[in-house]
């Protein structure tokens, strides 16, 4: 893959600022080294994917689903109900039948 694109092209796919932004949205804190590394790696991934842009798609509806099916729906009927303890079982913390999470906001 490296042979297809020059480093300059790869680096232009995404900036360090964009990596920082995405990391913030994903609630990840990255070190300076990681930011450099991910900028390079993500650029390389994006450049690879960017090859798809060579295909002419004028006048073609975007495909949002690879499965050629539409309208998969169910009737509005209550089915199996689950036991609360079973549902809470995988939670690291629970209290009074609630999931317990770190406090958010004020």
Partner 1 sequence: MAVSPPQTKYEVVIGLEVHAQLKTKTKIFCSCPVDFGSEPNTNVCPVCLGMPGVLPVLNKQVVAYAIKMGLAIGCEITKHCKFDRKQYFYPDLPKNYQISQYDQPICKNGFLMVEDKKIRIQRIHMEEDAGKLVHAGADRLHGSEYSLVDYNRTGTPLIEIVSEPDIRSAEEARDYAMILRSILRYLDVCDGNLEEGSMRCDVNISLRPEGTETYGTRTEIKNVNSFRSVTRAVESEIERQTEILNSGGRIIQETRLFDEATGTTVSMRSKEEAHDYRYFPEPDLVPLEISNKWIEEIRETIPELPNQKKIRYPKDYGLSLDDIKVLTEDRNMAEYYEAVVRMGAIPKKAANWLIGPITAYLKEHKTDIIGCCMTPTQLADLLGFIEKGLVNDNTAKTEIIGEMLSKGTDAEEIIKEKGLAQVSDEGPIRQAVKEILDANPGQVKELKEGKEKVKGFFVGQTMKKMGGKANPAIVNKIIDELIK
Would you state the structure tokens that stand for residue 84, as one six-digit string? 């609360």
Which one among 8, 52, 60, 101 touches partner 1, defined by CB under 8 A? 101
Phi, psi of 32 (to 5 degrees): -55, -40
Size of the site for partner 1 (CB under 8 A): 37
Answer positive or negative: Cα dihedral of 47, 48, 52, 55: positive
Pick the closer one to partner 1 by CB: 8 or 90.
90
Q: How far apart are CA 28 and CA 30, in angstroms?
A: 6
Which one among 1, 24, 37, 49 touches partner 1, defined by CB under 8 A? 24
Residues between 81 and 100 with contacts to partner 1, criterion CB under 8 A: 81-82, 84, 87-88, 90, 93, 95-100
Answer positive or negative: Cα dihedral of 44, 45, 49, 53: negative
Under rule CB under 8 A, residue 59 binds partner 1 = no
Residues of the shown chain interacting with partner 1 in the complex, contacts defined by CB under 8 A: 21, 24-25, 27, 64-65, 67, 69-82, 84, 87-88, 90, 93, 95-105
């Amino acid at each position: 893959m490296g042979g297809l694109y020059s480093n300059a092209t790869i680096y232009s796919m995404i900036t360090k600022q964009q990596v920082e932004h995405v990391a913030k949205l994903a609630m990840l804190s990255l070190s300076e080294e990681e930011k450099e590394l991910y900028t390079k790696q993500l650029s390389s991934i994006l450049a690879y994917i960017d090859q798809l842009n060579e295909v002419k798609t004028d006048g073609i509806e975007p495909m949002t689903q690879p499965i050629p099916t539409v309208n998969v729906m169910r009737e509005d009927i209550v089915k199996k109900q689950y036991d609360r303890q079973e549902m809470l079982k995988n939670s690291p913390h629970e209290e009074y039948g609630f999931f317990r999470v770190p406090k958010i906001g004020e």
